[in-house]
């Protein structure tokens, strides 16, 4: 019995030794091989990482005037990992201070992506609320008042369609830009320059480490790592002139429309005005659902950039394309008169097509027909040219395609084609469609920016320059990291003889409407609108012999395009007086 007892004791000792060795081995494994990992896990339970928002870069005009910057703000964060309950006294008091329901606060906490991430309860808090919350909850670690920055547009509505606005990143954007370090809750550009150049403007956020205690008290129990400082975003310098932009928007006034002022040679945009406008500051904080509904249902579509995102029938401005097709294909001689003079109408088959002038224009050359915008002349030119050649010339002018301007939302427009007519009417499509198309009606749709590029090519000798708003970009130290330059999309290949004939006609428009002290070349247009009143166009450039500026004006539901020539002259006056693009303007005609 004694021997058995000794064996048992020995076995027990061996067992205890083995267990002890296993425990020691496990501890060594945990401490040496996984010590760092578990230390981080432990610290994550007592330390919260709070983002230090990077300053978003400024957007400035060509003279350095601020178009978009930031102002100080405060956000209220809920820091605890456990979700709050409705009957939590903190939640009850916060609801009274923030003027929102307890249910809404609990919802915002529950909807955060992870319990280990802070929940944003309120953004852009006014300072009196910050002071009240600090006084009432200053000793609790459940809440943290986060210094922040809010996007600010000091000129309110001015240039809103250029600048765009910002907002919280959505899931689709997160997927597309997963390699850029974006996370839920981050602020990104949603429209305009804010969207196009968001990766330059955003900068890189920093991190602040906040200790959390079991008692929810702000007691300095732990050493916390030093903060990781944010890196500010880059500044965007635009070609836009703020004063000219404001002047163009005031010129549009209460109408719906667009005005573009562009460099005729390199595509720099000095003004891109669209009305109605909106105030981008409303998107810098929380946007109530009813505000979104109001904007979406507004029949004037204030969020629509009419300069690039809306297409219109070009009306008589398209006669420049029709004339180019006829002259380049040798279908009309420069001094030729059409078989049928203009008596105010033209009969084709069993249909009567009218000229805008009921009294008629009589016999004209093609240059004179451009000057007087004679429909009857161009009906006959269109019959000679045909749909195929008109389509080919439209493509040479880059119509029916995006220009590539550095803004989101540009549309293609529409150009006439046999395929489109056959899809709509079948093989026996009405041959009279060419008459409508030849004067910019029917199946022709263009954007104001496309017309600006077209006119610039006539001005500069055939080069289709890519329009752009960016001038250069500087990093936080002021170093230039990107410089825009002239980019040629293509060349029209229009002969100098054709160009001269067309420009003679365009210069004649200004001569017959009065003085032409700016040596302008222009073309009016009145485009029929199936949904209401006629749209009015005036496209132009100046001076003829040393082109500087292209000015395109479109007013929805306007009068005849000729009525607005004085507006364009006033815009050119402003440019001359303010050195846009520079002071090297020729002397005005006496």
Q: Which residue in the block uniquely carries the two structure tokens 């001359």? A: 576
The confidence score (pLDDT) of residue 583 equals 78
The confidence score (pLDDT) of residue 416 equals 84
Q: Which DSSP category does 265 fall into?
A: T
Asked if 83 and 118 touch (Cβ cutoff 8 Å), the reply is no
What number of other Cβ atoms are within 10 A of residue 220's Cβ? 8
- The SS3 of residue 148 is strand
The confidence score (pLDDT) of residue 190 equals 95
10 Å CB burial of residue 353 (0-12, 13-18, 19+) is middle
What number of other Cβ atoms are within 10 A of residue 232's Cβ? 19
- The SS3 of residue 464 is strand
Asked if 95 and 105 touch (Cβ cutoff 8 Å), the reply is yes
Q: How far apart are CA 537 and CA 14, in angstroms?
A: 100
Q: How far apart are CA 334 and CA 368, in angstroms?
A: 10
The confidence score (pLDDT) of residue 83 equals 63
Distances (CA, A) of 345 to 335, 356, 476, 525: 22, 9, 65, 18
**HEC per residue, 322-376:** HHHHHHHCCCCCCCCCCCCCECCEEEECCEEEECCCCCCCECCCHHHHHHHCCHH
Q: How far apart are CA 222 and CA 42, in angstroms?
A: 12
Asked if 271 and 241 touch (Cβ cutoff 8 Å), the reply is yes
Asked if 304 and 554 touch (Cβ cutoff 8 Å), the reply is no
Across 13-126, the runs of DSSP E, i.e. the strands, are: 47-52, 59-60, 66-78, 119-122
CA quadruple 76, 79, 84, 90: dihedral positive or negative? negative
Helix axes 496-512, 448-460, angle to 10 degrees: 110
Distances (CA, A) of 356 to 61, 101, 181, 197: 42, 63, 59, 45
Asked if 576 and 553 touch (Cβ cutoff 8 Å), the reply is no
- Alpha carbon 375 to chain centroid, angstroms: 37
What the block records as the tokens of 506 is 């365009």
Pairing state between β 206-211 and 47-52: antiparallel
Q: How far apart are CA 274 and CA 260, in angstroms?
A: 9
Q: How far apart are CA 264 and CA 520, in angstroms?
A: 13
The confidence score (pLDDT) of residue 221 equals 47
CA quadruple 250, 251, 254, 259: dihedral positive or negative? negative
Q: What is the pLDDT of residues 89-116, one digit of tens each?
A: 888 888 888 888 888 888 888 887 777 7
pTM metric for this prediction: 0.86
- The SS3 of residue 209 is strand
The confidence score (pLDDT) of residue 244 equals 98
Domains, the chain: 48-238 (3.90.1310.10), 242-277+301-577 (3.40.710.10)
Pairing state between β 59-60 and 235-238: parallel
What the block records as the tokens of 436 is 């409508």
Q: What is the pLDDT of residues 216-239, one digit of tens each?
A: 455 454 567 888 999 999 999 999
What number of other Cβ atoms are within 10 A of residue 140's Cβ? 16
Distances (CA, A) of 409 to 193, 275, 453: 11, 16, 17
CA quadruple 295, 300, 304, 310: dihedral positive or negative? positive
Alpha helices in 397-541 (DSSP H): 418-425, 433-438, 448-460, 496-512
Alpha helices in 206-271 (DSSP H): 242-252
10 Å CB burial of residue 174 (0-12, 13-18, 19+) is middle
Q: Which DSSP category does 310 fall into?
A: -
Under-50 pLDDT residues of the chain: 1-3, 38, 40-41, 43-44, 215-216, 219, 221
Q: Which DSSP category does 210 fall into?
A: E
The confidence score (pLDDT) of residue 214 equals 53
């Amino acid at each position: 019995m004694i021997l058995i007892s000794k064996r048992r004791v020995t076995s027990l000792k061996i067992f205890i030794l083995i267990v002890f060795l296993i425990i020691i081995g496990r501890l060594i494994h945990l401490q040496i091989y996984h010590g760092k990992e578990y230390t981080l896990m432990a610290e994550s339970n007592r330390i919260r990482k709070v983002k230090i928002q990077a300053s978003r870069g400024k957007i400035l005009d060509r003279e350095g005037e601020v178009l978009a910057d930031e102002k100080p703000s405060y956000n209220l964060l809920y820091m605890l990992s456990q979700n709050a309950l409705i009957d939590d006294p903190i939640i009850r008091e916060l609801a009274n201070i923030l003027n929102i329901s307890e249910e809404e606060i609990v919802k915002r906490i529950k909807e955060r992506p992870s319990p280990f991430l802070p929940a944003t309860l309120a953004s852009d808090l006014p300072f009196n609320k910050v002071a009240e919350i600090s006084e009432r909850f200053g000793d609790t670690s459940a809440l943290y008042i986060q210094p922040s920055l809010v996007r600010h547009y000091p000129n309110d509505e001015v240039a809103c369609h250029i600048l765009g606005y910002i907002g919280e990143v959505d899931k689709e954007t997160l997927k597309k830009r997963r390699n850029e370090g974006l996370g839920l809750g981050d602020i990104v550009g949603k429209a305009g320059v804010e969207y196009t150049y968001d990766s330059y403007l955003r900068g890189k956020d920093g991190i602040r480490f906040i200790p959390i205690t079991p008692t929810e008290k702000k007691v300095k129990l732990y050493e916390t790592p030093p903060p990781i400082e944010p890196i500010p975003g880059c500044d965007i310098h635009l070609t836009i002139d703020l004063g000219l932009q404001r002047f163009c928007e005031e010129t549009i006034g209460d109408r719906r429309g667009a005005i573009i002022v562009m460099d005729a040679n390199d595509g720099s945009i000095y003004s891109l005005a669209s009305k109605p406008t909106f105030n981008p500051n409303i998107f810098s904080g929380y946007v109530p659902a009813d505000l979104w509904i109001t904007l979406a249902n507004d029949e004037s579509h204030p969020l629509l950039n009419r300069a690039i995102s809306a297409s219109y029938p070009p009306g008589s401005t398209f006669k420049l394309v029709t004339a180019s097709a006829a002259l380049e294909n040798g279908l009309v001689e420069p001094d030729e008169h059409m078989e049928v003079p203009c008596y105010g109408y033209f009969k084709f088959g069993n249909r009567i097509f009218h000229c805008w002038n009921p009294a008629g224009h009589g016999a004209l050359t093609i240059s004179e027909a451009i000057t007087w915008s004679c429909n009857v002349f161009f009906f006959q030119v269109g019959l000679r040219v045909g749909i195929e050649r008109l389509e080919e010339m439209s493509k040479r002018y880059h119509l029916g395609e995006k220009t590539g301007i550095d803004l989101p939302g540009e549309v293609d427009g529409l150009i006439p084609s046999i395929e489109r007519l056959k899809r709509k009417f079948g093989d026996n499509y009405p041959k009279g469609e060419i008459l409508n198309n030849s004067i910019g009606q029917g199946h022709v749709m263009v954007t104001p920016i496309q017309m600006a590029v077209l006119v610039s090519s006539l001005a500069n000798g055939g080069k289709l320059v890519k329009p752009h708003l960016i001038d250069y970009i500087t990093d936080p130290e002021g170093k230039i990291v990107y410089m825009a330059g002239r980019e040629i999309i293509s060349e029209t290949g229009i002969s100098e003889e054709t160009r001269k004939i067309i420009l003679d006609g365009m210069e004649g428009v200004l001569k017959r409407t009065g003085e032409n002290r700016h040596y302008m070349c222009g073309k009016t247009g009145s485009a029929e609108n199936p949904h209401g009143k006629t749209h009015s166009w005036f496209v132009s450039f100046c001076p003829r012999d040393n082109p500087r500026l292209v000015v395109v004006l479109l007013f929805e539901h306007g009068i005849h395009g000729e009525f607005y020539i004085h507006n364009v002259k006033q815009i050119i006056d402003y440019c001359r007086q303010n050195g846009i693009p520079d002071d090297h303007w020729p002397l005005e005609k006496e």
